[in-house]
Amino acid sequence: MNIIDRFFKYVSFDTQSDEDSLTLPSTAKQLALLDYLQDELKALGLTVTRSKCGYVYATLKANTDSKVRLAFLAHVDTSPAVSGASVKPQIIKYTGGDVLLNSAEKIYFSEKDFPEIKRYLGQDIIFTDGTTLLGADDKAGVAEIVSAVEFLLDNPTIPHPEIKLAFTSDEEVGRGTEDFDVKAFGADFAYTIDGGELGELNYENFNACSGNVVIKGISVHPGDAYGKMINAIDVFNEFHNMLPIDSRPNTTRDHEGFFMVESISGGIEELTAKYIIRDHNSQKFADKKAYFTKVADKINEKYGRTVVVATVKDSYYNMKNIIEKHYHLVDNAITAFKNCGVEPVILPIRGGTDGSHLSFAGLPTPNLSTGGHNFHGRFEYIPVQSMQKMTEVIVELARIYSK
């Protein structure tokens, strides 16, 4: 099956995950695609197993003496942000300017809004009809991995180590590795194929924690409040304004970390505020957490009593600390891209990634591009040529690790 047919088949499944669900997978409909993948991989001749919640694991035996067990991972769910039902993918050769996606509803893809499209002049772009997301995140990753394995099976003279595949659910709702048993999976190294533009390589993500602030005020009738009232809302303002204004998500980029207030609830008597704190650098992350609690101490000192209690709880860590010990994963990905004529671009992830949890659980897992753009939206697209290139890159990585 060619990669376009394969990708179109995958996006015909509605696999939207659900952040409010308590089950795993969060939506049963994800299992339909996972079942399909199980059958497809078995038909290709791979050994397939399933995890308790339905992840599909598969193994392609080595055809060399290489002892490395190399894995490729992708997730089957799509973002809850935009519908992924009845996706109508279409291939349009990009010749410049805006692209009419849907004549009935007069929906255009705007070159001005998404100028990156100009890089793909003359290429065959897979768009939606402008009413749903496409699901290149991450079904393009799935299609590229399966196509690469099919290519290796069709070309047995290309050397490769033992290759493990894993297709998982619920990445988009932050539960993508909940059922992942790294030991049982039995791989030494892995790559997720879940990034954006062709050539992207990520091996750093944020260190992350949540911050919780509880403020206990003193409510007094406003007429008698002189010298007595402590308004928790005013105290919250003091607290928030003591955090650096140039360390917010909208004032930072690249490797700059931040504090972000996520929600506040309460009134004069009591107020709760929830924060997230992020930094790629471990020392700066520790400093930010210390600063966050020190601000509370300062305010308590001023009031002469405990008005504010600020606590932090770690969420996940920068996988760079693990990947650096296995830097061949980065070097070999760079070599594989270059050997396929793609200029690699190393970008820090300003968020988390499944690879972070896996890396800390013992499976070092950087992330590579899928080739897609505008994920989680109606204007998501992916050039066919980028998908074909990524398939080549995966084959090349297998060849590199066969030695």
Q: How far is the CB of 137 from Zn ion (least distance, A)?
A: 4
What order of strands is seen across the sheet that includes strand 270-279?
258-266, 270-279, 207-216, 308-316
Q: How far is the CB of 124 from Zn ion (least distance, A)?
A: 22
Q: Which is nearer to Zn ion, 206 or 239 (CB)?
A: 206
Q: Assign 3-class secondary structure to the chain.
A: CCHHHHHHHHHCCCCECCCCCCCCCCCCCHHHHHHHHHHHHHHHCCEEEECCCCCEEEEECCCCCCCCEEEEEEECCECCCCCCCCCCCEEEECCCCCEEEECCCCEEECCCCCHHHHHHCCCEEEECCCCCCCCHHHHHHHHHHHHHHHHHHHCCCCCCCEEEEEEECCHHHCCCCCCCCHHHHCCCEEEEEEECCCCEEECCCCEEEEEEEEEECECCCHHHCCCCCECHHHHHHHHHHCCCCCCCHHHCCCCCCEEEEEEEEECCCEEEEEEEEEECCHHHHHHHHHHHHHHHHHHHHHHCCCCEEEEEEEEECCCHHHHHHHCHHHHHHHHHHHHCCCCCEECCCCCCCHHHHHHHCCCCCCEEECCCECCCCCCCEEEHHHHHHHHHHHHHHHHHCCC
Q: How far is the CB of 180 from Zn ion (least distance, A)?
A: 15
Q: How far is the CB of 169 from Zn ion (least distance, A)?
A: 12
From the list 137, 138, 150, 171, the catalytic residue is 171
Q: Cα–Cα distance between 141 and 193 in angstroms, integer? A: 5
Q: Which is nearer to Zn ion, 59 or 356 (CB)?
A: 356
224 is catalytic: no
Q: Which is nearer to Zn ion, 147 or 192 (CB)?
A: 192
Q: Which is nearer to Zn ion, 187 or 349 (CB)?
A: 349
Q: How far is the CB of 172 from Zn ion (least distance, A)?
A: 6
Q: Which is nearer to Zn ion, 137 or 144 (CB)?
A: 137
For residue 152, the one-letter residue type is L
Tokens of 373: 């753009």
Q: Which is nearer to Zn ion, 138 or 392 (CB)?
A: 138
269 is catalytic: no
Q: Which is nearer to Zn ion, 138 or 396 (CB)?
A: 138
From the list 40, 77, 279, 380, the catalytic residue is 77
Q: How far is the CB of 15 from Zn ion (least distance, A)?
A: 12
Q: Cα–Cα distance between 98 and 101 in angstroms, integer? A: 9
Q: How far is the CB of 256 from Zn ion (least distance, A)?
A: 24
Q: Assess contact for 52 and 179: CB atoms under 8 A.
A: yes
Binding site for Zn ion (CB under 5 A): 137-138, 194
Catalytic residues: 77, 171
